[in-house]
Amino acid sequence: MGIRVVFIALLTIIFTTVFTGGAVAIDVAVITAGDTGEVVTAKTIERIFLKRKLYWKNGKKIVPINLPSESEERGIFTDIIIKRGHRELVDYWSARHYSGMAPPMVVESEEAVKIFVKEIDGSIGYIRAEKLDPEFKVLYLIKDGF
């Protein structure tokens, strides 16, 4: 009986690793602390983080915040929302550099995103949904990495 349980557990681990690439899907919440005055879609968020949309409908300047490029949350966010690879983004921001536009600021952790979004009016960032605090407004939820 003990061998059978171990065998089933091993099969479960193998199945999960093979069919999910060993990754556990996480939910990523795109957040702000205030009222934006508008309904926000994935396309709106893409435009914000590519700095093609600079102001909320209520007139406040938008301040997008990124996590470090190696973070799992940023990988999911970039894949689902921005839909561009690393090289494409480097080229995009290099081209905008000459017109005086810089990419969104990068902060080191989800806690830093929360502090920044809470303190800077008009800011927008993303964190794991499990780390949400009640004072944040979820603008968009990336569920199970999709």
pLDDT digits (tens, 9 = 90+) for 46-91: 999 999 999 999 999 999 999 999 999 999 999 999 999 989 999 9
Does the structure show a pLDDT above 80 at 23? no
- In this prediction, residue 18 carries a pLDDT of 44
> What pTM did the predictor assign?
0.82
State how far the Cα of 31 lies from the Cα of 19, in Å rounded to an integer: 31
Confidence label for 144 from pLDDT (cuts 50, 70 and 90): confident
State how far the Cα of 90 lies from the Cα of 5, in Å rounded to an integer: 49
- In this prediction, residue 100 carries a pLDDT of 93
